[in-house]
Amino acid sequence: MRNPFRSEADAFRFVWLTIGYFALIVLGEAISTWVGVSVFVVLTAGALWVLFGRKTPKLPASKAPASAPPVEHRMLVVANETVGGMELLAEIRTRAAGRSVTVLVVCPALNSSLRHWASDEDDARAATLERLDRSIAAMRAAGVDAAGAVGDGDPIQAIDDALRTFGPDELLISTYPAGRSHWLERGVVERARRRFDLPLTHVVVDPDGADPH
């Protein structure tokens, strides 16, 4: 049976109503027996309805809390001439599918030793930035949240610099195949595996599928 008293105030109110209930019956009985009986019937019916006949109001159904947003996954991509390669874009799209991913693409600026020592790097950085912009545009068109930056000419140093500000969960290094890649000749991928405590994926881009510009 439902408890009619939800607080001490309800119980206190019930005591006073009970006193008033019997006082009215006695007063009605003093007037006449039929008046006393009528008062008893009316008050008793009203009390029973108040105690047991009222419906408990339904509380609005509580809504389940909204699901937390997916944890962001950060991906650092290091590439230069292969930054626009179809294989690289396909790998990024595959890894980004079904989760919230932020991609930072770093392109180490290429330059010859002579031009490097002469501090004449403007042309190399401009060409790198042009390739990078096209690659970022392609990634965004594919629905990937991507940003880019031109990094140090040494790819290992470029990765090290990016780690200080970006904090990636994984690292992708894109190169041409063996025999066509200066980075592979210099052991960049293996050096990165040994130096950086991150899951590393080496993406090989077919020269014919790279950015023709």
Which range of 32-36, 54-58, 134-138 scores highest in mean pLDDT? It is 134-138
Count up the domains in the chain and report the number. Answer: 2
| 81-113 pLDDT, tens digit each | 888 889 999 999 898 888 889 999 999 876 544
Furthest CA-CA distance within the chain: 124
**57 φ/ψ angles, rounded to the nearest 5 degrees:** -60, 140
- Does residue 68 belong to any structural domain of this protein? no
Domain assignment present for residue 59? The answer is: no
pLDDT category of residue 13 using cuts at 50, 70 and 90: low
More confident site: 207 or 179? 179
Q: Does the pLDDT value for residue 63 go beyond 70?
A: no
Residue 82, classified by CB atoms within 10 Å of its CB into exposed (0-12), middle (13-18) or buried (19+), is: buried
- Residue 74: the pLDDT is 93
Please indicate, yes or no, if residue 33 is contained in any of the structural domains. Answer: yes
What's the pTM?
0.62
Residues 6+ apart with CB under 8 A from 8: none
pLDDT for 173: 96
Sign of torsion over alpha carbons 7, 10, 14, 16: positive
Q: Same structural domain for residues 49 and 77?
A: no
Asked if 92 and 40 sit in the same domain, the reply is: no
Residues of the domain holding 134: 73-209
Shared domain for 20 and 81, answered yes or no, is: no
- Residue 79: both structure tokens together: 């590439």
Say what the pLDDT of residue 111 is. 56
Give the mean pLDDT of 137-159: 90
Q: Which two tokens stand for residue 27?
A: 């007063």
Residue 126: per-residue pLDDT: 77
